[in-house]
Amino acid sequence: MQTTEKEVVVVVPSSWPRGWLLPALAMTCIVCVVVVVANKLPITSQGGVPQRPAPTATTVLTRVVGELRAQSRLVVLQADVEAELRKSSEKRWRWIDLGTTTVWLAAPGRVQYVIDLSDIGTDALEYEPERNTLLVRLPRPYLDRDMVYVEPDPAKIAVMKQIGWARLDRCSGRQVESQVRRELRSAILAAGEHEWIRERAEKAAHEAVAKLLRPIAAKLGGETTVEVEFLPVPTEN
């Protein structure tokens, strides 16, 4: 059997310019790079700004906990109060009553209520997507006994005295007044514990926490409502 060899000749069109191969390869590489980069770019909105993926509910709740803990002790109310005190001193010499000295004092002051947020965790939060509501369970506001303002201006403190018939103001009067002034701080704290001030503190706490968390809660989508519930006060056994 006889084998026939054929010669194959490739004819390059004369219209193609010389040196076309390298530019063509370079153009192909550029197109590939552009395609790869385009596939890795984030999706953009109509304005050309990259759109970040929406945060998950877990991410948002973690941010909420971080924001609350950063406050440590959140001041929810500062209230002006007025303390009224009355104190008397009796004195006798043998069987003789030397009289009773009484001092009345009224002074303004200021107290504040706070919420301890240092131990808040994600278990205090509950997101209800069907109601688009973020529920936050917090301890009740309490009276801050470390931050008490006592009016230092004597002109704003009312003092009335009734001196015993056989006694002197410079003795019993000033002594009783000094005792009353030492009790003024405790009296202002007692005035700050009135029920109507506690109610004001709880209402203010609702508003303060909702205002603090509303920008973060909005990341959950739409007009997310922030609701605050207070934990029951633990009872002593």
Contact in structure between 226 and 210 (CB atoms under 8 Å): yes
Helix (H/G/I), strand (E/B), else coil: 103: strand
Contact in structure between 102 and 118 (CB atoms under 8 Å): no
pLDDT > 80? residue 237: no
Q: What is the mean pLDDT of residues 119-139?
A: 89
Task: Find where tokens 């230092």 sit.
Answer: 152
Distance of CA 62 to the CA centre of its chain: 14
Contact in structure between 141 and 79 (CB atoms under 8 Å): no
Contact in structure between 83 and 186 (CB atoms under 8 Å): no
Q: What is the pTM of this model?
A: 0.70
pLDDT score, position 22? 55
Enclosing H/E stretch for 63: helix 57-71
User: What are the start-end ranges of the E strands in 6-155?
Assistant: 73-93, 96-116, 125-128, 133-138, 142-143, 149-150
In this structure, of 56-65, 105-114, 124-133, the range with the lowest mean pLDDT score is 56-65
- The one-character DSSP state at 9 is -
Q: What is the mean pLDDT of residues 116-128?
A: 88
Contact in structure between 227 and 133 (CB atoms under 8 Å): yes
User: Which tokens belong to 19?
Assistant: 């040196």
Q: What is the mean pLDDT of residues 144-171?
A: 91
Average pLDDT, the chain: 81
What does the pLDDT look like over 10-29, one tens digit per residue? 444 444 455 555 555 556 55
Q: What percent of the chain has pLDDT over 90?
A: 43
pLDDT score, position 12? 45
pLDDT > 80? residue 35: no
Cα 211 to Cα 209: distance, rounded to the nearest angstrom: 5
Cα 46 to Cα 43: distance, rounded to the nearest angstrom: 10
Q: What is the mean pLDDT of residues 214-225?
A: 83
Contact in structure between 173 and 163 (CB atoms under 8 Å): yes
pLDDT > 70? residue 32: no
pLDDT score, position 43? 46
Q: How confident is the model at residue 65 (pLDDT cuts 50, 70, 90)?
A: confident
Cα 213 to Cα 226: distance, rounded to the nearest angstrom: 7
pLDDT > 80? residue 54: no
Higher pLDDT, 40 or 182: 182
User: Which tokens belong to 14?
Assistant: 């004369």
Contact in structure between 173 and 164 (CB atoms under 8 Å): no
Q: How confident is the model at residue 158 (pLDDT cuts 50, 70, 90)?
A: very high
pLDDT score, position 171? 87
Phi, psi (degrees; rounded to nearest 5) at 3: -95, 135
pLDDT score, position 151? 92
